[in-house]
Structure 1
Amino acid sequence: MAADPHLAPHWDTAALITIDMQRDFLSDAPFGLAGTTEILPNLAKLTETFRATGRPIVHIVRLYPVDGQDVDRVRRTLVQGGAVFVQPGTPGRLLAPGLAPADDLDDETLLRGEPQRLGPAEYAVYKPRWGAFYRTKLDELLAGHGVDTLVFAGCNLPNCPRASIIEAHERDYRVVLVTDAVSQASEQGFREIEGLGTVLCTTAEAVSPSA
């Protein structure tokens, strides 16, 4: 993968970060993103591998409160106008089926900014805006597991994955993007992400990095 020793992933101390893989964002949902359902098989391989090897997994999620106050400005009018997606208490805010060992999300815990434990080294973390580190305890959580490499996958590369990747670089993590496990991607987008110092790889490479 990366020849530069400053960029090369440390797979033994890596965490998998999934972004916005919630039911309301799946391809056929009213507010879904095309191509998101289609990456689920690769995401399942990634989560199964990280889970089996005891490495951390963090599922980053959105929650849009009914009053729409703490929502991105670009979606605030939509939510305040009555649009219901990833709303606390609704089925659509749950992670995609089969993605995590626990089906339910504890909205109160997440909205307080606390990580919700889903498994031995698996968590859900709520982010109120695009980036996974903004107003969250993600950095603290990762430090507690000795993580120095982040492997990103999930929904809508131009927005939340990209913002989260930039924030990760700002915090000096080694960063990997799994190109066939992210939706709304393009070759231009990959070039821009790679230009930040992100290592691009496929699911097969991430599952067996020494192959």
Structure 2
Amino acid sequence: MKSDVEFFEARGFGNDLGLGKNACLIVIDFVEGFTNESMPMGYNLDKQIENTNRLIKAARSSNIPVIFTSISYNNTRLEKDLLWKEKMQGLKTLIAGTNLVRVDPRLDYCKEEDDLIYKKFASAFFGTNLVSILNTGNIDTLIVAGCTTSGCVRATVVDAVQYGYRSITVTDAVGDRSEKSHYQSLFDIEQKYGDLSTTEELLEKLSTKIK
């Protein structure tokens, strides 16, 4: 009996897209509302943050732009009643101007240099200026770190390919509350939407590319 990978490969899924000409690193929602385990949306992401800092360091050395995202809500009459917040009540803690929507201070975020996109929903593309800034920088490849693998990471990767961007999801720099959801989402991403890489593999690709 064929494994899932063998079944998909036999039908032409999972082809490697590789790095394009111009990449950026996008760090999705590593904000305190998700990285603080005491919060409703939070869970342990220590290792993923450590690996993301390694990616940020390599990106800066390679002159690759870094983009951060955060989910942030204004407590206005209409925005406080967004339907997604009813589905996941913990989203109601992500209030604009609070520490819960700021980039985790353990990350090497430079507000003078890095773009920070505030979003309302899962994909970093939905309702934001991400396409505009990617096009301005002639970016064709997204290197993806962040959380959650089955949620905002996956949604961003799906939108990336739909907008014509390659993506490389760094498997040990993304995290999920559910191990099963994490690995199933990575499998789906690799078969249908983008490439996967470990931190070590990605760092090697970047070092080779700039030689």
The question of whether the paired residues in 2 share the 8 Å contact of 1:23 and 1:29 is answered with: no
Q: Secondary structure at the match of 1:175?
A: strand
Question: Where does 1:1-211 land on structure 2 (aligned, <5 Å)?
Answer: 7-10=17-20, 13-67=22-76, 69-70=78-79, 72-76=82-86, 85-102=93-110, 118-120=111-113, 122-184=114-176, 186-209=182-205, 210=208
The question of whether the paired residues in 2 share the 8 Å contact of 1:125 and 1:136 is answered with: yes
- Report the CA distance between 1:205 and its aligned residue: 1.4
Following the alignment from structure 1 to structure 2, what is the Cα–Cα distance between the partners of residues 70 and 141? 25
- Report the CA distance between 1:27 and its aligned residue: 4.5
Aligned pair count reads 189
- Report the CA distance between 1:196 and its aligned residue: 1.5
The question of whether the paired residues in 1 share the 8 Å contact of 2:27 and 2:69 is answered with: yes
Amino acid at match of 1:168: A
Query: What 5-or-longer segments of structure 2 have no aligned partner?
Result: 1-13
The range that moved more, 63-72 or 155-164, is 63-72
Amino acid at match of 1:55: I
Pair 1:163–1:157, CA change in 2 (3 A): same
Following the alignment from structure 2 to structure 1, what is the Cα–Cα distance between the partners of residues 120 and 91? 17
| CA RMSD, 1 decimal | 2.5
| Counterpart position of 1:110 | none
Query: What 5-or-longer segments of structure 1 have no aligned partner?
Result: 103-117
Pair 1:175–1:78, CA change in 2 (3 A): closer
Following the alignment from structure 1 to structure 2, what is the Cα–Cα distance between the partners of residues 77 and 199? 30
- Report the CA distance between 1:28 and its aligned residue: 1.2
Pair 1:78–1:158, CA change in 2 (3 A): closer
Q: Secondary structure at the match of 1:18?
A: strand
Q: State the TM-score, normalized to the length of structure 2.
A: 0.80
- Report the CA distance between 1:66 and its aligned residue: 2.4
Pair 1:203–1:74, CA change in 2 (3 A): same
1:144-188 per-position Cα deviation (integer Å, ceiling 9, x unaligned): 111100111101111111111010000111111000000115322
Q: State the TM-score, normalized to the length of structure 1.
A: 0.80
Amino acid at match of 1:61: S
Following the alignment from structure 2 to structure 1, what is the Cα–Cα distance between the partners of residues 158 and 92? 29
| Counterpart position of 2:5 | none
Identity of aligned residues (%): 25
The range that moved more, 187-196 or 131-140, is 187-196
* The structure with more helix, counted as a fraction of residues: 2
| Counterpart position of 2:9 | none
1:113-170 per-position Cα deviation (integer Å, ceiling 9, x unaligned): xxxxx233x2101112111111111011011111100111101111111111010000
